[in-house]
Structure 1
């Protein structure tokens, strides 16, 4: 093990120990503040995110974010004239919908949380939100396109939900960003599709609301071989179909392990598209780095980066400052979920500060009235596509090696998000 690797592991261990302590005992206001302002009961915020399993990359920055929140919440939150210490009760969904539902239920029924939060794909977000809705507990979620969040929970646009609110972008934004990216080089517009049989894959591949009809309208021919089973170890059938059709673009939404399997087999079977733009799997530098030289030039959506021109309403740090702080603390490149995990607690803190009482109905009223600029962009309910969704900006970009062998994700397409600057031009894979 190198000295750098040892240092990185030590930094990770320190952050993990601190975050675990914060999750176990809560982030408490200083006694002097409580005495001076009159202490209210602790506010309990439940937080569910995958720290283990195939979606573990989403939770890679949990310890870093929670340590920052411990400092931000150290003075408590003032509600209706009383200062309340804050406890963040963090739980691992283990990338499992059933486990996510189980820990959410425990947080609600055993720990009596005042507000529930969750991030990272429908596998975690939807079961947590469902538990909150049925138990009438205010809930904030993010890091999941709004269609699989809303329609994956059988939401009715005419009615919506009463207790559960979500902020993120939607498939319409993915389509706009991806096709804008693809337009920057010449292709035959034949696209191979990789959609798993899960909530994300079924939403992205939906024949009515997903990518197939939208891409057809833009002149693309989609080669969709049907839903593959998550965790598949053989993509030969898909690769053969893409080669037979002459697909020069590959897209879809995959976990990092599934894409690694596909991309390795694509190379072995001499399938070499000009563009590979994959949702979810290519969000994380660790996943791209694991591909070695075959990670160079891959493209994906970009939710958040240090290039985004936003600041935290909690700490006043810019996106660039938060990204740099993560690298300094861990020795690793920034990762996209940092911005939205931080923004999730920005929204939660803003909601609680505006609540007229520390009780569920008052908290939900404050959620509905949210109008906040976060490090991930503006969050405001009431103007979204459905009642419970607030839209945030999305761009797309390309992974490239930089000096020293590290990786950077360069913004190349920003339709509808001109405030996020473009940093270069698309370089085809071949």
Structure 2
């Protein structure tokens, strides 16, 4: 056979090989695709359904499922052809190692497109690290430790504020009490349980007190105690002996808030103002302590008073409670905000590619009338922190948390100084 004929045969063979390869690739892609066709938006929600914070987690679970159902009934994500959202709930148990494992499972096994969570700061950090490692957007609904936005994360976006922001709100409130209301006080005590969240809050209070424009008070007691204590009489006696004008107190579990109230009454001490953070603000607290909860002050992201101030607060709160039977709390409020952010980002991304969702989150600019908290809106800075997040201050008046600060949304005047236990008995 001539050399020319062999060359023609070689060319023909090469052409056949290419055609077969192309047909094979076409058949493989169409009949044996590399991955499942996306017919839903999978959202992983990390929250504690067991452990001390299960009450909060159950509320968050209810809000996440309720919001997904609401979005789906309204046509799903329209820019994605009406894809529906499927929420996958993962119980963190309030434990960092469990939260990390659950985040990894949601990403590698459930193939979620976005994670929302995880309530506890100590759980959120390792979970967010997993999301960062895999390049999955993480919307933080509530966790407030300042370090969460100091990690240099690219995929982390916090709807809620940081402890640094909220601690400042306490000192701004105290400054307002002195300058606007004319009340005098010079000494404070700082009390915290030994959890990451509460120690973080207490640390921020200590830092702010060094700022002479906001603080400068004499700290006469600085107390730490274990998480979920069984008795707080010793700590309450220490407060009574120090006799501060104002007590700044942060605990997470509701039982600890109840125990503190009982201990303060037992030793017959109540400061001019008891400024609390954590477990005091939830409905179970007031249901348990009754009238003994009067005059306690706390920071909030939710109050029934908001229903008078914002139409969307009334609309969402009434529908959610009626349809789920769950209480509105700050944690359900922030979960609602997280889903507002999620929906907005997905609509603008028009894709389930992680990077496109991340870019949409970076460009978030949601107006205040779309969310429940009385914020200007939601917009993230370079660290992923919502620049508009803040708290308002509330006080228990006649059995209900009422807004007392800032003035433009206050519904009642602050009661200061608070009556002593003896004065209440009289």
C-alpha RMSD over aligned residues: 2.8
Q: TM-score w.r.t. structure 2 length? A: 0.78
Structure 1 unmatched runs, 5+: 1-38, 402-406
Partner of 1:247: helix, strand, or coil?
coil
Q: For 1:266-285, what aligned pairs fall within 5 Å after superposition?
A: 266-285=264-283
The one of 356, 361, 365 equivalent to 2:355 is 361
Structure 2 match to 1:47: 45
The one of 171, 189, 213 equivalent to 1:192 is 189
1-side partners of 2:297 and 2:385: how far apart? Answer: 27
Structure 1 match to 2:78: 78
Structure 2 match to 1:168: 160
1-side partners of 2:248 and 2:188: how far apart? Answer: 7
1-side partners of 2:188 and 2:278: how far apart? Answer: 18
2-side partners of 1:311 and 1:351: how far apart? Answer: 27
1:388 aligns with 2:384: yes
2-side partners of 1:99 and 1:223: how far apart? Answer: 39
Q: Please say if residues 163 and 204 of structure 2, whose CA atoms lie closer than 8 Å, have aligned partners that are also in contact.
A: no
Bigger radius of gyration = 2
Shift in Å at residue 346 of structure 1?
Answer: 0.8
Q: Please say if residues 145 and 197 of structure 2, whose CA atoms lie closer than 8 Å, have aligned partners that are also in contact.
A: no
Q: Please say if residues 118 and 142 of structure 2, whose CA atoms lie closer than 8 Å, have aligned partners that are also in contact.
A: yes
1:30-81 CA-to-partner distances (Å, cap 9, x unmatched) read: xxxxxxxxx95211110111233222232242354222431222322134x6
Structure 2 match to 1:24: none
The one of 334, 339, 348 equivalent to 1:340 is 334
Structure 2 match to 1:422: 410
1:178-221 CA-to-partner distances (Å, cap 9, x unmatched) read: 23544157353322211222221232222797444348952322
Question: Structure 1's 283 and 120: CA in aligned 2 closer, same or farther, altered over 3 A?
Answer: farther
Q: Please say if residues 45 and 88 of structure 2, whose CA atoms lie closer than 8 Å, have aligned partners that are also in contact.
A: yes
Q: Please say if residues 397 and 411 of structure 1, whose CA atoms lie closer than 8 Å, have aligned partners that are also in contact.
A: yes
Structure 2 match to 1:102: 101
Structure 2 match to 1:26: none
Structure 1 match to 2:293: 295
Shift in Å at residue 349 of structure 1?
Answer: 1.0
Shift in Å at residue 118 of structure 1?
Answer: 0.6
1:239 aligns with 2:236: yes
1-side partners of 2:393 and 2:270: how far apart? Answer: 21
Partner of 1:423: helix, strand, or coil?
coil
Partner of 1:227: helix, strand, or coil?
strand
Shift in Å at residue 394 of structure 1?
Answer: 1.6
Shift in Å at residue 343 of structure 1?
Answer: 0.8
Instruction: State the number of aligned residues.
Output: 368
Q: Please say if residues 208 and 214 of structure 2, whose CA atoms lie closer than 8 Å, have aligned partners that are also in contact.
A: no
Partner of 1:205: helix, strand, or coil?
helix
Q: Please say if residues 42 and 86 of structure 2, whose CA atoms lie closer than 8 Å, have aligned partners that are also in contact.
A: yes
2-side partners of 1:112 and 1:231: how far apart? Answer: 36
The structure with the greater share of residues assigned to helix is: 2
Structure 2 unmatched runs, 5+: 1-36, 420-426
Q: Please say if residues 93 and 124 of structure 1, whose CA atoms lie closer than 8 Å, have aligned partners that are also in contact.
A: yes
1:394-420 CA-to-partner distances (Å, cap 9, x unmatched) read: 21111233xxxxx432110117xx4xx
Q: For 1:246-257, what aligned pairs fall within 5 Å after superposition?
A: 246-255=243-252, 256-257=254-255
Q: Please say if residues 327 and 334 of structure 1, whose CA atoms lie closer than 8 Å, have aligned partners that are also in contact.
A: yes
1:124-154 CA-to-partner distances (Å, cap 9, x unmatched) read: 3223212211222111112122514335xxx
Partner of 2:193: helix, strand, or coil?
coil
Structure 1 match to 2:16: none
Shift in Å at residue 266 of structure 1?
Answer: 1.7
Shift in Å at residue 336 of structure 1?
Answer: 2.3
